[in-house]
Amino acid sequence: MRNADLFLGLSVADLLTPDMLKTMAEQPIIFAMANPDPEISYDLAKKVRPDALVATGRSDYPNQINNVLGFPFIFRGALDVGARTINDDMKVAAAKALAALTHEDVPDSVLKAYDLDTLAFGPDYLIPKPFDPRVLVWESAAVAEAAIRTGVARKQIDLKLYREQLASRLGHGRQVHRHIINVARQQPKRVVFPEGEEHKILRAAAQILEIGIGHPILLGRPEIIEREIADLGLTFKPQVIDPSQLPSSEVNPENSKHHVYTEAYYRQRERHGVTIALARERMSTPNIYGMMMVHEGDADAFLSGLTYEYPDVIRPALQIFGTRPGTERVTGAYLVIVEERVFIFTDATVNVEPDENTLAEAAILAADFASTLEIEPRVAMLSFSNFGSSQHPISQKVRGAVKIVQKRRPDFNVDGEMQADVAVSLELMEERFPFSQVKDANVLVFPSLASANIAYKLLHQLAGALTIGPVLLGMGSPVHVLQAGDSVDQIVNMSAVAVMDAQGR
């Protein structure tokens, strides 16, 4: 063991003694994989040699080396290309894929599964976690590529398309996610983030650059952002602007348009009690500054809300941008993915007590949003009654909204009023109301904000539904709102939605 760099064991417990470990070279690598008890315990190895990189086969210590990271994914890649054998090149490719994956930012879902706040490549993270869903895509694709390269594959496949197919096997939610990402990739846009100093925003910005869906612009203090990026183990260099610094400041030479935004904001709001001094003051706040960047064409989309209350984002956005041409109202929608089914819920965030015209507009905007996701909209206007079974002002309001939508947009199917269970059950609808134009609805228009908000949150918490949103529909510019508890994945998803929105302007 003297001056050895690596100990690789798959034998019996306690074979490697502390005295032997002490004789090894600096920063030795200890792979003690005997199970259930390793050749030397993780705690003892780190106590004797704090500089050691230690891995075991145990799940209760960092760096678990386990066949669960190898066999299913190697077989998957081999089978998908019809490989005649599994050769050493394919196994080496699997190992290299796992090694490369540890240098990527770790998804929040993995951190949550292991009750961790952060995880980055280093002594305690040399190998991906078994619950990391990305292992399937990275490892199987690498194995398939190696099989093709070494001539043992009987099928030639498009590796880029294969990676997409692997991702889709993780569930329908992943398919929708991949569609949004792929559309955003086709024409990346500049997305401004007012909360540029937040850890989740920084991690999301790194992923946005890496997967190529946009160009993040971070608002905040450059020295803070630079330090946080280093602490998180990220390596990207984003565009950073500090709204609190005036253009003449040497600290922030990029911010040369501060006065332009101030003048534009003042002209827009001068008849609403805003003086030039107040405009200048407000321009030092990241939210207003970021919106004016979009207003003046220096950014394409705006995303905020992780540390702001919802009204503090949407109110100034409506003041600055108003509604989209041809649209009288802004509504809020959520993508809700339950097992293999995808729904759009509206209005869950903006209009508290909508009248029939607002309900109709919400239905039209949600149907158009579904079409951008390549989902054929089947729109159900929900209530507590079915097709006139209860004569009440609320159900009559919903019935009136149906007529407005049918008159304005005969190009998609809409019906109601109907109860939620009937709307989503093909069997119930065909049995009880076979005349309905909508069966197995996927766009659900709720009669009030309360009902929509309650429904999507209950599904998320009790049924584990994947939710993406809120997506603001009908806004005058691509402005979207995050929520306080959003994960990095959710921020990336919303960024892709914002990019898609900007593409369609």
Give pLDDT tens digits along the chain (505 positions). Answer: 999 999 999 999 999 999 999 999 999 999 999 988 999 999 999 999 999 999 998 888 889 888 888 888 999 999 999 999 999 999 999 999 999 999 988 877 788 767 788 888 989 899 998 878 889 999 999 999 999 999 999 999 999 889 878 876 766 566 677 778 888 988 999 999 999 999 999 999 999 998 899 999 999 999 999 999 999 888 899 999 999 876 554 445 455 688 899 999 999 999 999 999 999 999 999 999 999 999 999 999 999 999 988 888 999 999 999 999 989 999 999 999 887 789 999 998 899 999 999 999 999 999 999 988 878 999 999 999 999 898 899 999 999 999 999 999 999 999 989 999 999 999 999 999 999 999 999 999 999 999 999 999 999 889 888 888 899 999 999 999 998 888 898 899 999 999 999 998 8
Assessment of whether the complete model's pTM goes beyond 0.75: no
* Predicted pLDDT at 172: 58
Q: What is the pLDDT of residues 104-120, one digit of tens each?
A: 888 777 887 677 888 88
Residue 475, φ and ψ in degrees, nearest 5 = -70, 150
Query: What is the edge-to-edge ordering of all strands in the sheet holding 341-346?
Result: 413-418, 378-382, 443-445, 341-346, 331-338, 466-473
* Predicted pLDDT at 297: 95
* Predicted pLDDT at 254: 52
* Predicted pLDDT at 247: 58
E-assigned strand segments in 100-248:
189-193, 214-219, 239-241
CB 31 within 8 A of CB 65: yes
Strand partners, 214: 189
Question: Under DSSP, is residue 322 helix (H, G, I), strand (E, B) or coil?
Answer: coil
CB 336 within 8 A of CB 462: no
- Rounded to whole angstroms, the Cα distance separating 76 from 328 reads 51
To which CATH superfamily is domain 68-170 assigned? NAD(P)-binding Rossmann-like Domain (3.40.50.720)
Please state, in angstroms and as integers, the Cα–Cα distance from residue 42 to each residue in 63, 120, 124, following that order. Answer: 10, 19, 11
- Long-range contacts, stretch 121-125, CB < 8 angstroms, 24+ apart: 121/233, 122/233, 123/53, 123/54, 123/62, 124/62, 124/63, 125/62, 125/63
CB 143 within 8 A of CB 94: yes
Task: Please give the span between the terminal C-alpha atoms of the chain, in angstroms, as a whole number.
Answer: 66
Tokens at 232, concatenated? 């998180």
Whether domain 189-321 has CATH 1.50.10.20: no
- Are 68-170 and 331-474 the same fold in CATH? yes
The amino acid sitting at 397 is K
> Considering the domain 331-474 in this protein, what is its CATH number?
3.40.50.10750
* Predicted pLDDT at 173: 60
Tell which residue, 156, 137, 147, 130, has the closest CA to residue 64.
Answer: 130
**Annotated domain spans of the chain:** 6-65, 68-170, 189-321, 331-474
CA angle 84-85-89, nearest 5°? 125
Tokens at 190, concatenated? 């500049």
CB 102 within 8 A of CB 128: yes
Please state, in angstroms and as integers, the Cα–Cα distance from residue 248 to each residue in 135, 245, 251, 287, 496, following that order. Answer: 49, 8, 9, 21, 34
List, as one string, the DSSP characters of 327-340: ----EEEEEEEETT
Tokens at 335, concatenated? 């993508």
Helix (H) or strand (E) holding 481: strand 479-481
CA angle 329-191-253, nearest 5°? 125
